[in-house]
Amino acid sequence: MKTFVSLLCALALLLGCAAGWAQEDAVPGNRLGLDVLAALSDGTKNAFVSPVSLAYALSLAAYGAEGATREEILLALDVPDAAGIAAWTEPLGASGLKTANVLFAKDPLSVREEYAQGVGELFGAEVFPLDSAATVNGWVREKTDGLIDKLLDEGKEPDAQLLLINAIAMDAKWLSPFDPHFTREDVFHTPEGDVTAQFMRQGLTAEYAEAEGAQALKLPYLDSGLYMTLILPEEGGVGEMLTLLSEQGPDLFEFGPRSAESIIDGIVGQYRANNPDLNEEGLRAELQSFFRGPEPWEVSLSLPKLDISTGSNLKGALMDLGVGTPFSMGADFSGLSDASLMISDVIQKVRVQVDEEGTRAAAVTEIVLGDMMAIYEQVPVSMVLDRPFILLISDEETRAICFAGVVADPS
């Protein structure tokens, strides 16, 4: 009987559990960030965004905007006002995410005093002269712990009137670190062909779920409210999964212990398909005597080490998502400055490093404003991320997605 049950357990793990999602109130910035990621990648290339950093930078702009300019930004962020994003600062800081905001101005005196005071109180933002690219890059380097070296090309004068910049950074250790002795080179199947990568390996008890043919796993960090969610869609399914995530959010996956009923249902279904004369009632009764309640997932994980840097202009994606007025001649940033300003670009740079000990990651978002003219022996489920996958780093308390990306080529 023991061998029989072990076989049934293996079959049950292959079948997976029924997953669902609960539609809750939108978490500020999450939907926009996932929409932008879906616009940047179809799963065939690396792409990373920071929904949190983008939300902070856009909130700095919204605080000085009026009319339709302000409404479009806030609607895209799912917040009634900029304070909705500023409220994150304390809980995110408690989780280990560092945030910083700044305004660089060609003419600091052109910035309205009420605006400077307001963003200072809400976001801790200071106003500095935009005198050189080196000054801006020095601030970025410091606030991202050196992970992002520069934002502007040095050697030429910045041509913007104003730069609104947010930077975030994290350095967190895994709750369950990987043993370097088990790391070895293996094949990762990219859309362009096979490459080699260093794969970290471990077996662990973890929160695991399956939905829409995809596997999902949550990896918590030590002494932190932050956690990483790894999502491995079916082969070629990253683009479709990005669309589902942008529509439904991470709640698409229902994490929790493996219920005895789901295990039994999966086993009975598998045997029913292969044995029309199955005594289903008898099999259920026999299994119910063995599976008495929910049990944790045992997962055999294989994850490539990462050091990925990306840089993206988000202007086109934001305009396609309904944020058009701030980029047009109809933009109204009169709460920020007396000058006639419009956003010319939204640039975001992200770097994510993942190794055996944990994760270092940073992002910087720049909004450029210029003149308008110018119990039994369980067989672990296997999760081998050797093809394009999705990575999210989120905060438990706020449910804010700090980083989101597609890993199409870890080499």
**What CATH number is given to the structural domain containing 71?**
3.30.497.10
Judge whether 78 lies within some domain: yes
Which of 47, 58, 52 is CA-nearest to residue 33? 52
Place of tokens 């307001």: 118
- Per DSSP, the residues of 336-384 read TBSS-EEEEEEEEEEEEEE-SSEEEEEEEEEEEEEES-----PPPEEEE
- Report how many domains make up the chain: 1
> Which residues pair with residue 306 across a beta bridge?
354
> Which residues pair with residue 118 across a beta bridge?
none
The secondary structure of residue 251, as a DSSP letter, is G
User: 297 in helix, strand or coil?
Assistant: strand
How far is it, in rounded angstroms, from Cα 294 to Cα 349?
A: 43
How far is C-alpha 213 from the chain's CA centre? Answer: 20
Judge whether 235 lies within some domain: no
pTM here is 0.86
Name the CA dihedral angle for 32, 36, 42, 47, rounded to a multiple of 10 degrees: -120
Judge whether 8 lies within some domain: no
Task: State residue 272's pLDDT score.
Answer: 72
CA count, 13 A, side-chain hemisphere, 278: 15
Range of the domain at 128: 52-172+309-374
Judge whether 107 lies within some domain: yes
Judge whether 216 lies within some domain: no
Judge whether 242 lies within some domain: no
How far is it, in rounded angstroms, from Cα 78 to Cα 80?
A: 7
Task: State residue 12's pLDDT score.
Answer: 35
Rg of the chain in Å (alpha carbons): 24
Query: Going residue by residue through the chain (411 aa), what tens digit of pLDDT does each one get?
Result: 333 333 333 333 333 333 332 334 678 999 999 999 999 998 899 999 999 999 999 999 999 999 999 999 999 999 999 999 999 999 999 999 999 999 999 988 889 999 999 999 999 999 999 989 999 999 999 999 999 999 998 877 777 889 999 999 999 999 999 999 999 999 999 999 999 999 999 999 989 998 989 999 999 999 999 999 999 999 999 999 999 998 888 888 988 777 777 667 767 777 776 777 777 777 777 777 676 666 778 899 999 999 999 999 999 999 999 999 999 999 999 999 988 899 999 999 999 999 999 999 999 999 999 887 653 445 577 889 889 999 999 999 999 999 999 999 998
Task: State residue 17's pLDDT score.
Answer: 33
Q: What b-and-e string marks burial along 95-133, b requiring 16 or more CB atoms within 10 Å of the CB?
A: bbbebbbbbbbbeeeebeeebbebbeebbebebeebebb
How far is it, in rounded angstroms, from Cα 390 to Cα 59?
A: 26
Judge whether 296 lies within some domain: no
Judge whether 25 lies within some domain: no
Task: State residue 262's pLDDT score.
Answer: 66
> Which residues pair with residue 102 across a beta bridge?
126, 165
How far is it, in rounded angstroms, from Cα 411 to Cα 197?
A: 6
